[in-house]
Structure 1
Amino acid sequence: GPAAALVVTLIYAMPPMARVTKNALDQVNSEIVELGKMVGCSTMQMLYRILLPSIRPRMMLGVNQVIMLTLNMVIIASMIGAGGLGYNVWQSLKQLRIGQGFEAGIAITLVAIILDRLSQKIATRRPVYHEQKTKFFQKNIYLIIIFLFIIITWLCGNWFSFFYNIPENMTVSSGRFWDGIIDYININYHGPIRLVRDFFYIYLLKPFKMFMISIPWFVVVLLVFTIGLRIQGFALGLKCSILVLFIAMSGFWEKAMISVYLIGTCVLLANLIGIPIGIIAASNDRVHRITQVIIDTFQTLPAFVYLIPVIMIFSVGDFSAMIAVVLYAVVPAIRYTDNGIRQVSSSYLEAAKSNGCTKFQILRRVQLPLSLPDIMLGVNQTLMMGLSMLIITALVGTRDLGQETLIALSKVDPGRGLTAGICVAFIAIIVDRLINAWSQKRKKELGLTTSIS
């Protein structure tokens, strides 16, 4: 029912907000903190009057991610009784009515874009100060007009159905248009598409898959322990290696390695594509605006919607799963890189220019090192979003932990499904801890950590 859908969506969409807020608080300028201490701010005053206002642009990035992830859950939520647009998409996909599924998916995307633009304007809005003698109606004229308009249209809706639902003979459908595009691609470009698919599978996916399956479990345990030891010390290496050992002892080792191979390939490609685009978007406002619209569309368009066209164009298999995961997971790499570079203080840029640095030197020596924590946060989110696609990719024929979860659901075997899900979570935790530890180490080297107490 709706209550269960609400809980599931909350659990899925909440972590990025917490992570972005923590990351932003860690990077507050030490001069701002010292100013708060000098004027005698208490801990609560420091937080609500100084720290939170100073990180509002970064926090709105987290709000944006919450909006996108929430809307992306509408189809899964519809499976447990939430209804809404997600139910329309789900029913269309079950009947392979691609055009109708796209229409509902585009409606979800437009809702996301509207909420995203409003949240961005709220983040950049500056308070407007009025004289004390200003009347209430003069100060809130636009709010009053909007409120009156809502009341009038609501009252009119009681007598005229047009104000509630547009008549069916006035609606426009684009379903046949999308169906025609898929048919055209399959008829005219089947040969080149098959050539690209076979090339990637034979020379990239299959060799990496065979390599990952052939690695003994104890080698992976030692490798993860060594990496953790080098980054942060014995404790991190021990924790991560214990999680790897659990996966090996669960009986899902081969499935786990297939999951690591698929998600690792997808995350690598997503970051190779997303980080350069984010760098370009950060240096060009026009590209930034265009990119924002595209990535909002990609992230909010439910994975189920573009998974079906991918299957119908590339057939089932690992390559189709890779395309779907890359399209879905490339968004954080672009968004966090763009935001991280834009958040670099102008004082650093002015210092680099005064020393005669070229644009490329400023990017390489100043902007990228200082924005590296944000970029690594994007890499982390790319990985998490890729792992969240495992069950969906199992629908196109992958034989990994996602397939085990799907089989457990179909056979009502909660123990098997829960164990496979825990293995997926442990893979995510291992990589998350290693990336965060390395990012914190890098922050200390760059002097970006701030003491708030």
Structure 2
Amino acid sequence: MASLSPATQAPAPKFRQVSVVLWIAALGLFWLFWKHGAGLAPWAFDYPRAWTVPVARWISQAMKWLLNDATFGLFTFEQATRFIAAVIEVPYQVALSLLSTGFLEGQGSTATQILPPLSWLAVIAVFALIGHRAGGVRLAALVVGCLGFVAVFGQWTSAMVTLASILVAVPLGVVGGLLLGIAAYRWLWVERVLRPILDLMQTIPVFAYLVPVLILFGFGPTAAIVATLIYAMPPMTRITLLALRRVPSELHDLGQMVGCTRRQLTWKVLVPSARDPLMVGVNQVIMLSLNMVIIASMIGAGGLGFDVLAALRKLDFGAGLEAGFAIVALALVLDQLSQAFARKSWGQPVQGSWAHRHPYLLAALATVALAALLGLVVPAVQSYPKTLEISTGTFWSNVVKWINVNYFDTLEAIKNALLLNLLIPFKRFLLSLPWAGVVALLAFAGWRLGGWRLAVLTAFLALFIAATGQWEKAMTTVYLCGISTMIAMLIGVPVGIAAAEKAGLWRWVQVVIDTLQTLPSFVYLMPAVMLFRVGDFTAMIAVVAFAVAPAIRYTALGLRGVDPRLIEAGRAMGCTRSQMLTRIKLRLALPEILLGLNQTVMFALSMLVITALVGTRDLGQEVYIALTKADPGRGLVAGLAVACIAIIADRMLHAGARNARARLGLAEVQE
């Protein structure tokens, strides 16, 4: 982290005074309008229905046109999408046959198995060999432990169904994101077109575009893979663009000097030079694909996601937790393997026969063949024996029941106190605000933080929410998201401070927050519903549990990244430990803490759509209702409203972080 620059340690006093006066004036005008404007301008408080823009109807009509009338001459749009689905279906069926069902002849209940799937021992052995090739004995042992956990806890069959879809979705997401990122790097107009599209892909809730995906690609695992690609591809595209731009110009010039064509320069110079950050993009695609498994199960994906969803419907917390930890185990295996391959230095290729050049491949083929032969004689080699499976599901369900029985009155008192004194008053306050005043205040805040462009963007996005008739539900979403984010930050920042101060504690905290971020979001709903029933408080508890991880992570990383020279200077000046923390470390870590706040808001918004399952009445519920009624227009409009809230928060918090860096004289971080 860069040191402070004397010229930019603090803004000029006059600028500060003017800024404070402008903020006070803006808030004063807003208060006067809120208190006395209802009689003068009632339209500013309740958006007139006559002004509503029928975006939902337009989207539904566009979907019908695409499905029924759109054509490319030789084939229709529907035929094109079904062809894409058929192409994706081929590798998926191969992967599913290898890992789960075996190779079948015939269809449906009349299908007969020609070849069995890979033995569970063979799958573990192959992944262990891959781990040993990439990272040595420790990584191989970790892979064996994680996959062994999946088998021992009876999750193997479902895990292999999930792994089959991941093995198809991840390569498609990586290749698609890489090609889009390269195109954006080559042509500026492509980047300008892609940027808002990527913003929408990352901020629109997945539920919102499940209906269009189902309509265009049909019900089943293929549609789930398409939805996963929409969700998981944007980070790879962004990281590719950023990585290519960070390749030293000397390498670019050297490639041109030796006579590389444009294609050779891209694939033999730029892409290899950007391998490390590109592998970060691969890791993100893997993690986001695994985050999608439960939602994908709603449209026919099956696997571990379906197990978690079934457990949620029955409120079987133990079964849902075990399936969730199986997803965590798969995520850990794929994450560690991808990182190991990114760090691996491969050296010179081995000379000699094919067996000498590919010993790991030979060992894997031999292991698969041996396990297949042994499986014909010993069934336990082919399929993990049911008698050896263990389960802690009943234990965890009983723990939640015990808490509910013994602490019901205490939990109910806490719930009612927070509802009556915090949640309901804040909700009523937000719903009473005039939409026109909120739009104007957001525009002013955008102008103060980032100039006229941010002002126009925030005003337009807020006006879009009002113009589409989503204002009241959007305010309910802001209320739930705001309360949850505040509580998550109140928990996360102190924990992050404590973890940053002690290296040993940080290692344990990192394991916990990695697990929290990998666990499916639906898992958080089950104990919350079992303890607090349905409603806004339950939704808030689930959102806080899901969103607290980035608050902890960014606080700790910001404090751990403070320049040691500044800390030594503070000690030399005689600062106490509390003064070091409050006057040096926290101030310098403020930009990272603001980015952590940004990520906490994004996590909260993504979780709020899922909490619609427990009775919230916000935009998430609107998206979920549209999904149940197969109404693409209604779902996408509600999803776009969520995206508007997310983009407003994202842009303002990023602008605030940039301003904080500028005040502290720190180097700007490219994102």
TM bracket, shorter-chain basis: 0.7 to 0.9
Q: Distance in 2 between matches of 1:135 and 1:307?
A: 56
Shift of 1:39: 9.4
Shift of 1:94: 2.3
Choose from 443, 449, 471 the match for 1:225: 443
- Work out whether residues 321 and 396 of structure 1, in 8 Å CA contact, stay in contact via their aligned partners in 2: yes
Distance 1:251 1:205, change over 3 A: same
- Work out whether residues 555 and 589 of structure 2, in 8 Å CA contact, stay in contact via their aligned partners in 1: yes
Report the equivalent of 1:334.
Answer: 552
Report the equivalent of 2:521.
Answer: 303
**Secondary structure, aligned partner of 1:403:** helix
Please tell me whether residue 387 in structure 1 is matched to residue 605 in structure 2: yes
Shift of 1:250: 1.6
Report the equivalent of 2:298.
Answer: 79
1:250-279, CA deviations, whole angstroms, 9 ceiling, x for partnerless residues? 222111101100011111211222233233
Q: Distance in 2 between matches of 1:355 and 1:204?
A: 40
Distance 1:276 1:51, change over 3 A: farther
Structure 1 vs Structure 2 CA RMSD: 3.6
- Work out whether residues 69 and 300 of structure 1, in 8 Å CA contact, stay in contact via their aligned partners in 2: no
- Work out whether residues 500 and 506 of structure 2, in 8 Å CA contact, stay in contact via their aligned partners in 1: yes
Q: Distance in 2 between matches of 1:175 and 1:10?
A: 32
Distance 1:174 1:277, change over 3 A: same
Please show how residues 386-425 of structure 1 align to structure 2 within 5 Å: 386-425=604-643
Choose from 376, 385, 396 the match for 2:594: 376
Please tell me whether residue 89 in structure 1 is matched to residue 89 in structure 2: no
- Work out whether residues 267 and 382 of structure 1, in 8 Å CA contact, stay in contact via their aligned partners in 2: yes
Report the equivalent of 2:568.
Answer: 353
Distance 1:450 1:113, change over 3 A: closer
Shift of 1:14: 3.6
- Work out whether residues 113 and 296 of structure 1, in 8 Å CA contact, stay in contact via their aligned partners in 2: no
Shift of 1:100: 2.1
Please tell me whether residue 320 in structure 1 is matched to residue 551 in structure 2: no
- Work out whether residues 68 and 300 of structure 1, in 8 Å CA contact, stay in contact via their aligned partners in 2: yes
- Work out whether residues 2 and 82 of structure 1, in 8 Å CA contact, stay in contact via their aligned partners in 2: yes
Distance 1:282 1:111, change over 3 A: farther
Q: Which moved more, 1:42-51 or 1:383-392?
A: 42-51
Shift of 1:225: 0.4
Shift of 1:354: 5.5
Please tell me whether residue 433 in structure 1 is matched to residue 666 in structure 2: no
Q: Distance in 2 between matches of 1:268 and 1:307?
A: 19
Gaps of 5+ in 1: none
Q: Distance in 1 between matches of 2:326 and 2:436?
A: 49
**Secondary structure, aligned partner of 1:356:** helix
Distance 1:369 1:449, change over 3 A: same
- Work out whether residues 221 and 244 of structure 1, in 8 Å CA contact, stay in contact via their aligned partners in 2: yes
Please tell me whether residue 239 in structure 1 is matched to residue 239 in structure 2: no
Distance 1:273 1:169, change over 3 A: same
Q: Distance in 2 between matches of 1:49 and 1:367?
A: 37
Q: Which moved more, 1:8-17 or 1:170-179?
A: 8-17
Distance 1:351 1:436, change over 3 A: closer
Bigger relative contact order, structure 1 or 2, given CA contacts below 8 A and separation 6+?
Answer: 2
- Work out whether residues 99 and 177 of structure 1, in 8 Å CA contact, stay in contact via their aligned partners in 2: yes
Distance 1:417 1:140, change over 3 A: closer
Shift of 1:102: 2.2
Q: Distance in 1 between matches of 2:518 and 2:537?
A: 22
Shift of 1:147: 6.6
Shift of 1:281: 2.7
Q: Distance in 2 between matches of 1:143 and 1:363?
A: 53
Distance 1:212 1:20, change over 3 A: farther
Shift of 1:360: 5.5
Please tell me whether residue 164 in structure 1 is matched to residue 379 in structure 2: no
Taking structure 1 as the reference length, the TM-score comes to 0.83
The residue type paired with residue 302 of structure 1 is: P
Larger Rg: 2
Shift of 1:4: 1.5
Shift of 1:186: 1.4
- Work out whether residues 243 and 274 of structure 2, in 8 Å CA contact, stay in contact via their aligned partners in 1: no
Report the equivalent of 2:134.
Answer: none
- Work out whether residues 221 and 300 of structure 2, in 8 Å CA contact, stay in contact via their aligned partners in 1: yes
Shift of 1:323: 0.4
Q: Distance in 2 between matches of 1:253 and 1:131?
A: 62
Q: How many residues align?
A: 439
Shift of 1:203: 1.3
Report the equivalent of 2:227.
Answer: 8
Please show how residues 12-411 of structure 1 align to structure 2 within 5 Å: 12-16=231-235, 53=276, 60=280, 65-119=284-338, 121=340, 125=343, 127=345, 149=367, 152-342=370-560, 344=561, 348-350=563-565, 352-353=567-568, 356=571, 368=586, 371-411=589-629
The residue type paired with residue 568 of structure 2 is: K
Shift of 1:66: 4.2
Q: Which moved more, 1:404-413 or 1:333-342?
A: 333-342
Shift of 1:315: 1.3
Shift of 1:21: 7.3
Report the equivalent of 2:203.
Answer: none
The residue type paired with residue 633 of structure 2 is: G
Shift of 1:114: 3.1
Distance 1:305 1:209, change over 3 A: same
Shift of 1:135: 11
Shift of 1:408: 2.3
1:28-87, CA deviations, whole angstroms, 9 ceiling, x for partnerless residues? 8xxx969x589968796996576665x68xx74x65554443222211101111111111
The residue type paired with residue 214 of structure 1 is: S
Taking structure 2 as the reference length, the TM-score comes to 0.58
Shift of 1:120: 5.1
Distance 1:66 1:385, change over 3 A: farther
- Work out whether residues 443 and 449 of structure 1, in 8 Å CA contact, stay in contact via their aligned partners in 2: yes
Q: Distance in 2 between matches of 1:19 and 1:335?
A: 22
Q: Distance in 2 between matches of 1:369 and 1:147?
A: 57
The residue type paired with residue 648 of structure 2 is: I
The residue type paired with residue 440 of structure 1 is: R
1:157-188, CA deviations, whole angstroms, 9 ceiling, x for partnerless residues? 35433233211111112222122112211111
The residue type paired with residue 428 of structure 2 is: M
1:221-249, CA deviations, whole angstroms, 9 ceiling, x for partnerless residues? 11100111001111210121011111112
- Work out whether residues 476 and 618 of structure 2, in 8 Å CA contact, stay in contact via their aligned partners in 1: yes
- Work out whether residues 88 and 101 of structure 1, in 8 Å CA contact, stay in contact via their aligned partners in 2: yes
Shift of 1:15: 3.9
